A and B are shown apart, each in its own frame.
Chain A
Amino acid sequence: MSGGVEIRVRVAEAEPVADGIKRLRLVPVDGGHLPVFSGGSHIVVSMQDGERRIRNSYSLMGSPRDTAGYEITVLKTPESRGGSIYIHEHAKVGLELTISYPLNLFPAAHRARKHLLLAGGIGITPFIPIMAELDEAGATFELHYAMRSAKLGAYADRLAERYGRRVRLYRSDQGQRIPVGDLLSNQKLGTHLYVCGPERMIEGVVLAARAAGWPGENVHLERFVAPPGGDPFKARLARSNIEVEVGPHTTLLEAVEAAGVDAAYLCRGGVCGQCETDVIACDGTLVHNDHFLTEAEHKAGKKLMICVSRFKGRELVLDL
């Protein structure tokens, strides 16, 4: 229960949308309604893969007003910790899963005069309900959506059809790029910029915005990352007085949970701060992968976000 209220759901639809991209529709097992959500929200999906419990976060991409079911899109990433592979191989109609309540770490700025949305690849998903909301509210927005090829551009046709000139598509296999510099140079006051896509794209847009003189307050990033793997390591949990082993493809949080210790979490993507854990002793190097702690806190080494961060060295003791 440390991640909050959970809901049992069943896969009602599972269809491929593009190469290696699968859309799932999840409906409540008890036949009731799911909570209304706001555009930009994600849910944590818990999967039971044999002995292993995998929990991954996915953006909700259906209509925020559709409470009969939630939709998520899953990109198959072979190097991942297994969640996306599990879904691609096992998530067929009828499979039961557990999901969390929606949590929004990438909301639209309600006061914006205009919303400029930049998506790269699978990063399109949070923008689908955001655009639905903005459209319903009569807000001004523009989507610039970059994809490697038409085949990899999930939902591109559907969005172009629905929103017409407010959607622009860019295919890198045809040498097309989002003209970020030009886009940023002539926006009126009160415009907000959002970017979701590969880490490199996010960094690029952030740099471009800074170079163009945009204030950081108007730039919003969907930062939330799939936890990276790494070398295996051990950690001792002082309060529980046990030691856990963290494999190359599992996270510290998962290892803690597998050992039966109840640790707080929400986003499982290094953003929300809920799993902040005190480091009691550390003989080695903390590998911080989160976007929550400040640089100074990373350097100080007193805290660790156990959902995404790791450790290299001899001994790590945590206050858990």
Chain B
Amino acid sequence: MLVSDIKSRPVYQGLRFDPKARRHLVAADDEGAIAVEALAGEGGDTFARNATVLYTGRDDGRARIEALKTDAVYVTPTVPTLLTRLDVILAAAGMTDRLYVAGDEGFIGQVVALGMRHGIDHVSIRTEHRGSLQRRVQCVHCKGITEGVTTSIATCAHCGLHLIVRDHYSRRLAAFMGVCADAEEPGVLPPVEEIFK
């Protein structure tokens, strides 16, 4: 489990099976598939019969997911196409259905934000962090999102400013805050370190 002292960062409690839920809606990317495997192990047949799994990512994860023989599986080519499909599924979902998500932080954040747009309380969504510690970063200046940031200083993919990644996370935006790194002395940047691997 990801242990962090960043107060605004969500706590990812792990994918505990909810035996009371009628349907299990599960989203996973890459290594998230390992968490889904464990969830399926905990939920047994009840889970398999009532689970809809959406997956995007590497083939090894895909094989793990397909081996679970759940009621429905959708493998999508990208995160946005996964979210498009989940959006429609959630529009028809009810209070007795449970949403689970496992994967890297940016992926979890986007699925949780989508669930919230359908009226789900974020606390009701079961989450597990798996895989890279790379961050989704919002540039506070131009508001653009830069995906997959692994370094303490990153270049904004939209406006090109050098951003220092603050330890402050927004659930609404599913992103950490990026703030201009050389505002006080333009051109003078602290050393770049790879810290979010």
A residues apposed to B, CB below 8 Å: 111-113, 184-191, 210-215, 217-218
Q: Is the interface of B mostly helix, strand, loop or mixed?
A: loop
Chain A residues lying within 8 Å of B124, measured Cβ to Cβ, are 215, 217-218
Most buried by A among B18, B95, B97, B98: B95
Contacts of A112 in B (CB 8 A): 119
Contact A210 B20 (CB under 8 A): yes
23 inter-chain pairs at a CB distance below 8 angstroms, sorted by A residue, are A184-B96, A187-B94, A187-B95, A187-B96, A188-B93, A188-B95, A189-B90, A189-B95, A189-B118, A190-B120, A191-B119, A211-B20, A212-B20, A212-B95, A213-B20, A213-B22, A213-B96, A213-B97, A213-B98, A215-B121, A215-B123, A215-B124, A218-B95
- On chain A, the residues within 8 Å of B93 by CB distance are 188-189
Tally of chain B residues near chain A (CB < 8 A): 17
What total of A-B pairs shows CB separation below 8 Å? 56
A113 touches B119 (CB 8 A): yes
Interface residues of B in 74-111 (CB under 8 A from A): 90, 93-98
Q: Known contacts being A185-B96, A213-B18, is A218 close to B121, with CB within 8 Å?
A: yes
User: Which of A184, A189, A213 interacts with B21 by CB under 8 Å?
Assistant: A213
Nearest-Cβ distance from residue B23 to partner chain A, whole angstroms: 9
Residues on the B chain within 8 Å of A188, using CB: 93-95, 119
Contacts of B20 in A (CB 8 A): 210-213
Majority secondary structure of chain A interface residues (helix, strand, loop or mixed) = loop
Q: Which 10 A-B pairs have the closest CB atoms?
A: A190-B119, A215-B124, A217-B121, A213-B96, A213-B20, A213-B21, A187-B95, A189-B119, A113-B119, A189-B118
Residue ID in chain A nearest B93 by CB atoms? A189
Report A-chain residues with C-beta under 8 Å of the C-beta of B95. 184, 187-189, 191, 212-215, 218
Which chain A residue shows the least CB distance to B118? A189
- B86 nearest CB across to chain A (Å): 12
- CB-based contact B96/A190 at 8 Å: no
Closest to A111 in B: B119
Q: For B22, what are the chain A residues with a Cβ–Cβ distance below 8 Å?
A: 185, 212-213
Docked-complex contact A186 and B121, CB < 8 angstroms: no
- Given A190-B118, A212-B95, A217-B121, 18 extra CB contacts under 8 A: A184-B95, A185-B96, A188-B93, A188-B119, A189-B93, A189-B95, A189-B97, A190-B119, A190-B120, A212-B20, A213-B18, A213-B20, A213-B95, A213-B98, A214-B96, A215-B95, A215-B98, A217-B123
